Amino acid sequence: MKPIFMLLLLFLGFNSIAQEYQSDISVHDPVMIKQGDTYYLFSTGWGIDVWSSKNRKEWKKEQQVFADAPKWAVDAIPGFKGHIWAPDIYFRNGQYYLYYSISAFGKNTSAIGVATNKTLDPASPDFKWTDHGKVLQSYPGKTNWNAIDPNVITDDRDVSWMVFGSFWDGLKLVKMNKDLVHVAENLDKIPTIASRKTDPSAPNPPSVDGNPVDAGGNAIEAPFLFRKEKYFYLFASTDYCCKGEKSTYKMIVGRAKSVKGPYLDKDGKSMAKGGGTLLLQGNADWYGVGHNAVASFDGEDFLIFHGYDAKNKGISKLRIEKLKWVDGWPVVDLE
C-alpha cells in the first residue's frame, strides 16, 4: 500500500471519529443518566434525541427513541407530527422509564407519555423501547394547567410523584401508581407547588380561542425535584425560552422537608406564591439558561441544562456545571 494512500485512510478515519463525537452539541431540555461507564443524554427532538458519552465532554448521536410518532399522541394532539419535548429519564423497578411531552406550542393542548426499556445500551439484545402511551393530558378551557415537562421522584416512604407544568396555573404535583405509568390521584384536585403569581387566586387574562393570552402570564415551567440529605429541592425555570437572542430564561430553586412542600426560598417565601431563589441567569455569554436537570455522578452533583449561546446566534447548547452546597442551598460552581 502506498504511503500517501495510507495517510489518506488515516485522515478519513480520524475525520470520521471527529464527526461521530461532538463536544459542542445543540440540545433543548436535556436530562442525563449513567448506565455502567456510559452517560446517556435525552433531549427535545424528533422522536426524542439521544446522545451517549464516556466522559460528558464528547457526545455521540444515537438513534432516536421513536422512529415514528406514537399513534396515541397523533390521535390526542391535533397537528402533532412527532417532535417530542422535555423528556425525563428515571430508573426504578429494574428498568428505565422515559417520560415525554406532546404539545401544541403556546397552548395547553398537551399530554405526557411514558416508554420503558430494560437497558439504554443500543448494542444489548435487551434494548427495546416499549411505549405505554398517555399518563395524563391537559385540555384548553377544562384544565388550568399544562401537561408538559414531567419529572419523577420517589420519597422516603417509597411513594413516587410526578411534578410537571408550564405557565397557566404553574407547577403541579401528582402521586404515581407503583407501575409508574398511571397516576394515583384525581387530577381535578392536584396542588400547585410553584407559580409566579403572588396571589394564587388571581385570575388569568381573558382567553383567546380557548387559550389564555400569554398562556396565563405565569412564566414558570420545567420543574425538577432532587433529594439532598434532609431536603427535597424544587428547581424551575422562569421567563422565556426558545427566543434565541431574546431568550430570558433563568433558574430558581426552593426546598421542603416533604416532597409535597411547601417549597420555600432562602427568604422563607413559598414558591406557590411567587417565591424562588435565583440560581443562575443569562449574561454576556449566554442570553438565557434553563430547563435544568440535576444528577449525581461519582459523589458529585451536576446541573444539566441548555443555554442560548451569545457567540453563536443564540443557538441552544448543552451545559453541564458542578453544583456546590452552601448552608443547605445549591450554588453553581462556574470556576
10 Å Cβ neighbour count for 181? 17
Please confirm, yes or no, whether 221 is among the known catalytic residues.
yes
Catalytic residue among 49, 88, 149, 221: 221
Alpha-carbon distance values, 74 to 69, 83, 97, 111 (Å): 7, 11, 21, 11
The strand pairing partners of 162, in sequence order, are: 152, 174
Catalytic residue among 29, 149, 169, 265: 29
Please confirm, yes or no, whether 179 is among the known catalytic residues.
no
Among all residues, which ones are annotated catalytic? 29, 221
